[in-house]
């Protein structure tokens, strides 16, 4: 597995940690949505602009990030979340970092929490801020966040 895949798995683990609800769970749907937004800077920018949070609190992608030629490739490559994210999620479960329940709930294990603490020390502040803010949108208002993401995607497809 390459460095990019390791980084993405680490980010998935951080998303689960930052997206945890008061009952200690995250959901697969929320994980996929947050991961998608972090992979698509132009969609993230639009999503953030429609947030009730102060825009200045967001660590928004730069114009260079949103206009990257890689953005088109990412749209295609990341659209197949089940073939990309599912194996990564499976490895995190197999390593005992998170647990998965039939209802779609994810729960960080004690071992996973320790790894999250170590990962947080190595992730730059901009990425940490983006993960925390996007995860909070889905943690605190999942239905509203999913609806907003659908609206953003419908608008970008037009």
Contact predicate 85/61, CB 8 Å: no
| 8-27 tens-digit pLDDT | 889 899 999 998 888 888 88
d(CA 113, CA 4): 22
Arithmetic mean of pLDDT, 94-119: 92
- pTM, to two decimals: 0.82
Total number of domains in the chain: 1
Q: Which domain holds residue 90?
A: 3-157
| 108-131 tens-digit pLDDT | 999 999 999 998 888 888 888 889
Arithmetic mean of pLDDT, 17-43: 87
């Amino acid at each position: 597995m390459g460095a990019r895949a390791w980084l993405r798995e680490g980010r998935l683990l951080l998303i689960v940690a930052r997206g945890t609800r008061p009952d200690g769970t995250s959901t697969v749907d929320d994980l996929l949505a947050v991961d998608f937004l972090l992979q698509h800077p132009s969609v993230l920018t639009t999503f953030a602009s429609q947030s009730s949070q102060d825009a200045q609190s967001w660590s928004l992608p730069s114009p260079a990030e949103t206009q990257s030629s890689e953005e088109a490739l990412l749209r295609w490559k990341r659209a197949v979340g089940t073939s990309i994210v599912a194996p990564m999620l499976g490895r995190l479960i197999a390593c005992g970092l998170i647990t998965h329940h039939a209802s779609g709930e994810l729960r960080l294990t004690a071992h996973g929490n320790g790894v999250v603490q170590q990962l947080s020390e190595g992730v730059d502040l901009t990425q940490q801020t983006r993960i925390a803010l996007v995860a909070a949108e889905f943690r605190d208002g999942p239905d509203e966040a999913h609806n907003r993401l659908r609206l953003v995607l419908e608008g970008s497809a037009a």
